[in-house]
Amino acid sequence: MHLKISYSFLLPPLVLMVISCKRTPHTQTSLYQKEIDSIEYYLEKAKDKSLDAEQRKKYAWKAYEFTPVLNDSLKAKYYINTSLIFYKIGDFEDFKNLNHKSLTTASKIHNKRLMANSQHNLGLYYLNNKYIKDSAYYYFIEAKKIYEELNNPYRIGNILLNISIIERRNNNLTKAQIRLKESTYYFKLFNDFKSLSNTYNNLGNISRQIGNYEHALKNHLLALDYRTLLKNKYLISQSYNNIGVVYKEQKKYSKALSFYKKALSIDSIFYLKPSFYAKVINNLAYTKLKVKDENQLPNLFFKSLKIRDSLKDFPGILNSKLKLAEYYEYKNDTSQAKKYAYEAKQLAEKLKLDNDLLESLLILSRLEKGEKALEFTHRYIQIQDSLKNNEINTAKNQFDKIDLEIEELTQIKNEISSHKKILIISIIVLTLAFTSLYLFKQKQNQQRFNLLLNPLKTKSTNIKKTENTHKVTDLDEHIVNHITKSLKQFESGNNFLEKSITLNSLAKQLNTNSSYLSKIINSNKQKNFSTYINDLKIDYVIKKLQENTKFRNYTVSAIAEEAGFNNAQSFSKAFYKKTGIYPSYFITQLEKSDKHN
C-alpha cells in the first residue's frame, strides 16, 4: 500500500488532469444553469450566520427543491453541499440522510470523487454525532481507498486523523500514534497548520494517556504554536484545556486550574463550542474536587451535565456522570454516588467505551458491599485482562505476519536465480518508464511556467477567452454593456481579494442583480462566479510573485491569506486549476529563473 502511494506522488498533476477530463462539460452544465443559479442563491442565503437555524434550514431545503431535474453527477454534488449547511446548524440527521442519498446517486454513475466525499461525511457523522465506531471506521476506510486511487493526499491525511480518534477510543494507542504520525506527512505538503495542530493535539492526548507526560506537553505546546498562528479562539482554548489535563494527571493541580481558567477566559467560547465549554467546566470542577475546594461544587458538575444533555453529547454525559459519582462518593452520599455510577456503567456498555466502563466498575466495586462488590471487581479484572490480551494478540499477529513475510522472501530467494534476467529487464523497463514519465511531467510543468512568464502570450490568450462572448439574448443590450463595463472597472482594482465577496455582494456593488451578473459572467467569461473570482486572485498572485521577490518568501498559507482564499488547500487547488502547476513549483522556478538571468 505504502509503495503504491509513494509512486503516485510522483505525478499529482497528471492524475488531476485525468480526473478533470471526467468533469461535467460546460455545455452539459449550461442545460441546468437556471437550476444551478437558484441552488447557489439559496445555499448562499443558508450560509448567512446572522439568520437563525430554522431560517437557514428553510433556505437549504429551498436549494434542495431544485435538484430533482439535475443529472446524477450534479445531484450528488449538491446533496453534499446542502448537507454541509445542515451540519453547521446542528441538524446531523439530515446531514447523514443527504450524504446517504449522495452516496447512492454517485455510486450509480461510478463517480468516485463524490462517493468518497459522501463516505467521508458519513464517517464524520458516526464519529462525532452518533458514535458507532464500526460504522465510522467502515466509511473512513472506504473513502481512504478511493482517495488513494484519486491521489488526494489532503483527504488521506484527514481520514488518517479521524481513524486515529477511533483507534484511540478503542484503546489501540500504538495504531493511533502510527496513523497520526503518517497524517503529518500529508498535512505538511499543504502547510495545513490547522490539521497539523489537530494532529499534534491528538499525539499529545495519546502520550498523556500512556503516561508519557513530557511528550504530551511537547506535542500540546506544538499544537498551541500552530493555533496561535491561526488566531483560532476555540483551538487555542482547547490547547489550554489539554495542557491543564496533563498537569492534572501529574497531580500538579494549581497549574491545571490555571490552564482551565485560561481556556474559559477566551472570549465567547461557550457560543463558539458549547460541548467543549461543558468539558472544561467539568475538568475545572473535578480538579477542584481533587484539591478539596468545594466552592461552586456540585453546581459546576451539574452545569456541565445540563449542557451535554441538551446537546445529546453521550460520551460527555458519561464523563459527567462518572465525575458526579466520585463527587458524591467523596461526600459519603452513597445513594447518589451509586445512582450516577450505575447510569455511567449502562451508558459505557451502550457506547462500547471500555475505559469508561472500567472506571464505572471500579467506582461500583468501592460503593457496593459483599458479593456485588466482588462481582464488579471480578468483571473489572476480566475486562482489563481482555484488553491486555487483545494488545498481546495484536502484537503476536504482527510478529506472525513478519514470520510469514520472511518465509515468503526465502521462497522467492530460492526461485530468483531462474528469474534473475527477467527481473533485471523488468526493473530496467520500469525505471525507464518512470524516468520518461517524470521527464515528460517536468517538461510539461516547465512549458506551463514559461507560458506564465510570457506576459504577451498570456495576455493574448486571456483576450481570446474574453472575446469569446455570447450574446445574452434575454437581457437588454444597455444592461449588458453597463455590467460588462462595471466588471472591467472591478477587475482593475483589488476588491476581488476580499474573502467575503459573493455573487450577491458584487451585484450590489455594481448596482445590478445577481441573476443578471451571473448570466453575463457565464456567457462572457465562460466560467461560473467562483472560478471567475479565483482566476482574478491567481492572476494577482502570479503578478506579485514576479514583481516582488520578498513575496516569494511567504508560506503558501500566507500567500493564500493575502489573496483572499480560506486556506492553503483551496488556493493550491485554484492555482493548479488555472495554471496546471502548483504555487510552490512556480515560486521555485521563479527563483531559479532569476539566478540564471
The pLDDT of residue 26 is 46
Residue range 162-184, pLDDT digits in tens: 888 888 887 788 888 898 988 88
| pLDDT at residue 432 greater than cutoff 70 | no
Average pLDDT of the segment spanning 427-437: 57
Q: Which of 59-63, 73-77, 129-133, 540-544 has the lowest mean pLDDT?
A: 129-133
| pLDDT at residue 330 greater than cutoff 80 | yes
Q: Which fold has domain 153-266?
A: 1.25.40
DSSP 413-467: HHHHHHHHHHHHHHHHHHHHHHHHHHHHHHHHHHHHHHHHH-HHHHHHHHHHHHH
User: So what's the architecture of 33-151 in CATH?
Assistant: Alpha Horseshoe (1.25)
Average pLDDT of the segment spanning 257-269: 92
Residue range 128-164, pLDDT digits in tens: 876 777 888 899 999 999 998 998 888 998 899 888 8
The pLDDT of residue 492 is 86
Confidence band of 30 (pLDDT split at 50, 70, 90): low
| pLDDT at residue 4 greater than cutoff 70 | no
Same fold, 33-151 and 153-266: yes
Distance (Å) of CA 417 to CA 225, 406, 490, 515: 55, 18, 71, 72
Choose the most confident range, by mean pLDDT, from 288-302, 504-518, 570-584.
Answer: 288-302
The pLDDT of residue 14 is 29
Q: Which CATH superfamily groups domain 273-367?
A: Tetratricopeptide repeat domain (1.25.40.10)
The pLDDT of residue 590 is 77
User: So what's the architecture of 452-596 in CATH?
Assistant: Orthogonal Bundle (1.10)
Closest CA to 337 of 321, 313, 358: 321
| pLDDT at residue 473 greater than cutoff 50 | no
Domain boundaries, the chain: 33-151, 153-266, 273-367, 452-596
Residue range 385-400, pLDDT digits in tens: 777 666 555 544 444 4
The pLDDT of residue 73 is 92
Higher local confidence (pLDDT), 31 or 282: 282
Helices (H), 89-172: 92-108, 112-124, 133-149, 153-169
What 3-state DSSP class applies to 10?
Answer: coil
Average pLDDT of the segment spanning 75-101: 92
| pLDDT at residue 299 greater than cutoff 80 | yes
The pLDDT of residue 433 is 58
Would the pTM of this model clear 0.75, i.e. be above it? no
Average pLDDT of the segment spanning 312-317: 92
What 3-state DSSP class applies to 248?
Answer: helix
Average pLDDT of the segment spanning 500-529: 85
The pLDDT of residue 213 is 93
The pLDDT of residue 424 is 57
